[in-house]
Every structure is written in structure tokens, then in C-alpha cells.
Amino acid sequence: MKGYGPTLVSALIFCGAALLESCTKPYHQQDERYVFVATNINLPYWRSAEAGFLESAKALGVKAELIGPPGYQPNAELLVFRQVLEQNPAGICLSAARPEIFQTEIDQAIARGIPVICVDADVPGSKRVLYIGTDNVKAGRESLRRMAAFLSNQGSIAVITIQGQRNLDDRATGVVDELNYFPVLKLTKILDDKGDARSAFDQVSELMQQKEKIDGIICLEATGGSGAAEALHRLNMEGKLPIVAFDDDPETLEWIERGAIVATIVQKPYVMSYYALKLLDDLHHNAVHPSKDWRTALAPPVPVFVDTGTMVVDKDNLKTYREGLPAHPSPK
């Protein structure tokens, strides 16, 4: 600007920028809040998911929390979801313990314009926008393949699961499907431990004491592996029956180090929740525009299924896996 000194010019530019910024509506509102509803949230699995959810929220500059009952309590989880819905959050992530009891509430949330993303466990009959998590049928197949290798493709196996929980039922389906490729490998027992290591311990102990013909144990949920390993340890059978576990609870990793668990199928709960929140944020702000508004579109503007994948941890790679685990701070 001719006739003005550099100091005055800088001041005018600064004031103009500040005025422009003050007139621009902030992308995220001060009270913008996202909630993740799950069950059995005291498991280390959910601590990892919570870390991903909170770190994603921090990056976006929004509020977030993961809540739910401390044990496997589907009805209590449903009550939490209803309470969250009445608070009118910007978006909800849900890991449904039992999909059939959540459909109505999810559909109500969508009708109110609140996006719902299923994480880890799906409710496919609902109007949820998408599912992000493990391809559980594929994970079940992987569990069976690992067991088959340890049993030289023959023998009788027991499966520990939580019956009626969609993601675990899908893993069981994967196990059964993969059995078609191993005709002399038989599934002879299905145990429901309700997500409780003590229950897995009791049921496996009873099987062994009754001299049931079991050559290996596949655990499709996080607590069953440590419960089964403890049972074999107490009966002086540690390492005599291979156990293929699920997830990376510290107890599970300890039993791998000791040789009682031969492998575990590890999911990525941090990754699931980190990206789930970003997708919720995009939906809340209608940030993706193949149509005017996701709420009235014939199809969602985001992927309907995001497979976050799994990895296999065994004694050979346990040290490397542990060294690569970050230390997530505890939520305040």
C-alpha cells in the first residue's frame, strides 16, 4: 500500500484476518460430544478402544467418552444406550452385546438425525450407517486353521464363546465353515463362558476331570483363553492341549510366554474406534456430499463395512509385539 508504513500495513492485514475469522462459524461446536457404548468395558480390549476414541476426539477437538456396564450385561448396555440417546449426542458408536435388542433404539437414533456406527459387533438388521471392525467369519476361519496346524489336521476340539453375541456367532460360523477343509478334525464341545474367565476355568476343568476326549481348545472371546489355560495349569496339563485364544489381554500374552496358549488372534480395537469417531464426525457435519444430506440419501456417503483386520501373535513374535505396544494414558 503506497503511503503507508510496513507496521501499519501488517496491522491492517492482521485486523482483517481476525475480523474474517470472527465471522466464520467454527466447524466443531463447543459442546459437540460423541459417545461409545459397549459392555464388559473393564476388559483391556475396551481400554485400548477407549484410547483410540479419545485420541481421535483430541485430534478433532471434540468431547468423547466410552461408557457401559463393567460385565457382560446386554440389558444394562441397552439401558445405557437409551440414556445416551436422550442426551442427544452428535453421534454414537455401539458394540452390541446382543443385536436383536438394539434394533429399535438404533433406528430411533437415526430417525432423530443422530448417526450410529456399529464397532466390533454389528446390528445388521438396523438402520446403523456402517460397521467397522473385524471380519469375524474370517477370524474364526483363522482360529481353526491355527488349531489344525497344531493338531496335524486331526482330533476333537472344544470352542469357548458367548452364544447369541453376533460377532462371536460369526467367528463360530467361520470355525464351522473351515472344518469342511479338515474332515478328520471334529468340533465336539461348545462352551458358553458369558465373557467370564472364571466360567471358562470351571467348564474346562469339568471337561478334563470327566475325561472328555478333547485335543485342543479354541477361544473366540477375550477372557476364555486365560481361563482355559489356568484350568489346564491347575490340572498339570499345561502345554498338553493347544489353546488358540482371541485378543491380547495381558493374561493371554503371559500364558503364551509360558507355553500354555499357542497363539492368539489379535484384533485392532484402537484402530476401530479411532476411525469410527472420524466417520461419525463426518456424518454429523455432513462433510461428504454425493447427496445433499446423509439423513435423506438412498445410500450412506461412507463405506458400509470397514474391515480393520487381525494379526496372529505366538511365542515367536510375542517379544516384538509387546515392544511395539504403546502406553496409552488412562482417561481422566
Q: Which amino acid is at 17?
A: A
* Lookup: cell for 232: 489346564
What region does 274 belong to: left with phi over 0, alpha with psi -120 to 50, or beta?
Answer: alpha
Q: What is the dihedral of CA 119, 125, 130, 135, to 10 degrees?
A: 60
Phi, psi of 265 (to 5 degrees): -90, 115
pLDDT number for residue 20: 42
Q: Is the dihedral of CA 67, 71, 72, 76 positive or negative?
A: negative
Domain edges within the chain: 33-134+268-308, 136-266
pLDDT number for residue 17: 43
Task: Please check whether the two domains, 33-134+268-308 and 136-266, share a CATH topology.
Answer: yes
CB atoms within 10 A of CB 253: 23
**CATH architecture classification, 33-134+268-308:** 3-Layer(aba) Sandwich (3.40)
DSSP, residue by residue, 272-297? HHHHHHHHHHHHHTT---SSS-TTT-
d(C-alpha 118, C-alpha 170), whole Å: 15
Q: What is the pTM of this model?
A: 0.86
Q: What are the b/e assignments for 133-164, b being 16+ CB within 10 Å?
A: bbbbbbbbbbbbbbbbebbeeebebbbbbbee
pLDDT number for residue 15: 43
pLDDT number for residue 9: 41
For the chain, what's the residue count?
A: 332
pLDDT number for residue 8: 45
CB distance 92 to 119 below 8 Å = no
Residues of the chain with pLDDT under 70: 1-26, 328-332
Is CATH 3.40.50.2300 correct for 136-266?
A: yes
Please give the helix or strand (H or E) that residue 80 lies within, else none: helix 74-86
CB distance 70 to 59 below 8 Å = no
